[in-house]
Structure 1
């Protein structure tokens, strides 16, 4: 696997993990609620959340929409550091 493919896989895994954490933290938000709030389809949200192997290719526009709906920065959803620490700081 070339470096860029590995980096994309790592970003997809980070997105999956951080999306799940954001959706569970504080007042939990369900997939269908996030879909309505973000304009991202329920199927895409489900695929991202279940992408623990980093196979899902997600458009940047989708990441931005999800981040806005969750009141976080898009870069935080893609961060290799767990977003949990940042969420704790805002509580």
Structure 2
């Protein structure tokens, strides 16, 4: 696997983990609610959220829409650091 493929896989895993954490933090958000808030389809959100293998390749526009709906920075959804650190600072 090339370095760029490894990095994409790592970012996809981070996105999956951080989306999962954001959706379950404080007041849990259902996939259908996030879909309505973000304009991203339920199927796409579900695929991202359940992508433990890091195989899902997501358009940047989708990440931006999800971050905006979740009221977090786009970069935080892609961060290798746990998003809990940021979420705890705002709770």
Partners of 1:59 and 1:80 in 2: CA distance: 18
Unmatched 5+ stretches in structure 1: none
Partner of 1:27: 27
Partners of 1:88 and 1:82 in 2: CA distance: 11
Partners of 1:49 and 1:68 in 2: CA distance: 16
Alignment of 1:1-91 (within 5 A): 1-91=1-91
Q: How much has 1:9 moved relative to structure 2?
A: 0.2
Deviation readout 1:30-80 (Å, 9 max, x if unpaired)? 000000000000000000011000000000000000000000000000000
Deviation readout 1:11-47 (Å, 9 max, x if unpaired)? 0000000000000001110000000000000000000
Unmatched 5+ stretches in structure 2: none
TM-score (norm 1): 0.99
Aligned pair count reads: 91
Structure 1 segments (4+ residues) deviating >4 Å: none
